[in-house]
Amino acid sequence: MEKMMNDRMPIPSAQQCTASLQAINDALYVVGGKWRLPIIISLSEGKKRFNELHRAIEGVSAKVLSNELKALEINGFLRKTNPMDNPSVIEYELTGYSDTLQDIMNALSAWGAMHRQNLKNFF
* Residue placing its CB nearer to a second copy in the complex, 28 or 82: 28
x/- track of binding to a second copy for residues 1-30 (CB under 8 A): -----xxxx-xx-x--x-xxxxxxxxxx-x
- Alpha-carbon gap, residue 16 to 66, rounded angstroms: 37
74 counts as binding a second copy under rule CB under 8 A: no
Scanning 47-55, 61-69, 85-93, 104-112 for contacts with a second copy by CB under 8 A, the matching segment is: 104-112
- Alpha-carbon gap, residue 11 to 111, rounded angstroms: 17
Report DSSP letters for the chain, one per residue. Answer: -PPPP-SSPPPPPTTTHHHHHHHHHHHHHHH-SSSHHHHHHHHTTS-EEHHHHHHHSTT--HHHHHHHHHHHHHTTSEEEE--TT-TT--EEEE-GGGGGGHHHHHHHHHHHHHHHHHHHHH-
89 counts as binding a second copy under rule CB under 8 A: no
67 counts as binding a second copy under rule CB under 8 A: no
61 counts as binding a second copy under rule CB under 8 A: no
Minimum gap (Å) between residue 68 Cβ and a second copy: 14
Which member of 1, 3, 33, 123 binds a second copy (CB under 8 A)? 33
Which residues are at the interface with a second copy (CB under 8 A)? 6-9, 11-12, 14, 17, 19-28, 30-34, 37-38, 41-42, 44-45, 100-116
